[in-house]
Amino acid sequence: MSPGINTSLTRLLGIRTPIILPAMAFASGGLLASQVTQAGGFGFFSPTYSSYDHWASEFTSVRSTLGLSSGPLPVGAGFLGFRLDKDTPDRPRDMLQLALEQQVKAVWLSFGSDLGKWVRHVREYDTSREHKTLVFVVVNTLTDALVAINDWKVDAIIAQGSESGGHGASYAPPLLNLLSTILDAVPEDNRPPIIAAGGLVRPNQVAAMLAMGAAGTVHGTLFLACPASLYKPEAKRLIIAADGQNTVRSYAFDLLRGTTGWPKGVDGRGLTISGVGELQGMEQDVCPPGRDLEVLQKAMQERSEAVVWAGTGVGEVRNSRDPSAIVQELHDGAVAALRGVRDLIVD
C-alpha cells in the first residue's frame, strides 16, 4: 500500500487520494462514479436529463456496486443549475430530491444564473435530518469563487480552467492563472478546499496543483474511455485516437447538437471537427449569418463527424482502462513527484 495524500479535501470526504471524477452528463454514471470511489478517490455522477426513472436506476446501480443497500452513499451527484430552474418532463428538481433522499455524500452544482438558490435548497433539506450533504460548486472566475465562498458558504470549490473539456465559461482563464488567483485571494485558514479542473491527465500535474495549494484535482477526460463511461463506443474510439492538438472551445458544438439554452457565456470544449474552426467568433446559440444550420449538420453527418466533448489533455488517453488503474497511477506518480520537492530547497 503506497502512502496516502493528506489535504483538506481528503479529510472532508474521508478519502485516501484527492482524485475526483466530475459530474459529466452522458459520461459519468453511477457505475463509473462508484468505481472511482472504490479506487480511493471520489466519484460524481450526473443525470442525462432523459428520464426520472433512468436516474432512479442509477442509484440501484450505485448501491449494488458499493454493496450498500441503505444509508449514506460515498459518491456525489451533479446538477446543472439552469436545468433545475426549469420545469421539464424529466423533472430535474425531483432528480435532486432523490439524490438528497439517497444521502449522497456531496452534490456538484454548475452553470446556473443563481446557483446560490440551490445551495440554500440543499442546506434547507438537511436541516431536518442528521445527514449533511456537502456542496461543491464550479467556478470559472475569481468573482464567482468569492461569492461561492463568502456568500453561499459552500463546502468546496472546483476552479475550472479553460483547458477543461465539455461545458465551461468561454471567458475562463487558463487553470494556472485561475487557480493561482483564487488561492492567493482567500487565506488558507479561511477557505474551503479549492479543487483544480482543466486539462489534468498526468501525475506530475496532480503534484503541481497540490504544490500550488489546490486540495485536489478533477479528471474528466481521463475517465471518458473507461469501460463504465457512458460515452458511446465510437466516441471512446475518437477519444483514444485524438492527440493533444485536437480540441477547441466553441459555441458551435451546442448549436450543432441542438443542446442550447446554457447560461450566457457558457460554451464547450470538444474534439475539433471540420467546420467548427470557421464558426469561431459566432455568438452563443446563433447560427452565423449566411449559414444554414441544417446544411452544417448534414455535412457533419456525411463526414461521420460527431460532437465529442474532451479537454486539452485528451492526447494522454490511449486505451480503455478501469478507474482503479487510472487513480493508482495518478496517485503513485504524484506522491513520487511531491517527495522530490524536498530536494529543491537549500537552507
Residues binding a copy of itself (CB under 8 A):
3-7, 161-163, 171, 173-177, 180-181, 183-184, 198-202, 204-205, 207-213, 244-245, 277-278, 280-281, 312-313, 315-316, 335, 337-347
Containing 206, the helix (H) or strand (E) segment is helix 203-212
Taking the least distance from each CB to a copy of itself, the nearer of 129 and 339 is: 339
Taking the least distance from each CB to a copy of itself, the nearer of 110 and 312 is: 312
Residue 19: CB minimum distance to a copy of itself, A: 14
Residue 186: CB minimum distance to a copy of itself, A: 12
Please list the residues that pair with 217 across neighbouring strands.
19, 196
Residue 205: CB minimum distance to a copy of itself, A: 5
Residue 199: CB minimum distance to a copy of itself, A: 5
Taking the least distance from each CB to a copy of itself, the nearer of 227 and 277 is: 277
The sign of the dihedral angle between the CA atoms of 68, 69, 74, 79 is: positive
Taking the least distance from each CB to a copy of itself, the nearer of 51 and 180 is: 180
Residue 299: CB minimum distance to a copy of itself, A: 18
* Closest by Cα among 182, 181, 228, 271 to 21: 228
Non-local CB neighbours of 204 within 8 Å, separated by 6+ positions:
333, 334, 337
Taking the least distance from each CB to a copy of itself, the nearer of 72 and 333 is: 333
Q: Are 208 and 330 in contact (CB under 8 A)?
A: no
* Beta carbons within 10 angstroms of residue 139's beta carbon: 25
Taking the least distance from each CB to a copy of itself, the nearer of 154 and 197 is: 197
What single string gives the DSSP state of each residue in 254-322?
HHHHT---PPTTEEEEEE--TTTGGGTTPPTT-PPTT--HHHHHHHHHHTT----B--TTGGG--S---
Q: Are 267 and 250 in contact (CB under 8 A)?
A: yes
Q: Which residue has the cell 489534468?
A: 200
Q: Are 271 and 305 in contact (CB under 8 A)?
A: no
Q: Are 131 and 186 in contact (CB under 8 A)?
A: no
Residue 303: CB minimum distance to a copy of itself, A: 20
Taking the least distance from each CB to a copy of itself, the nearer of 302 and 347 is: 347
Residue 2: CB minimum distance to a copy of itself, A: 9
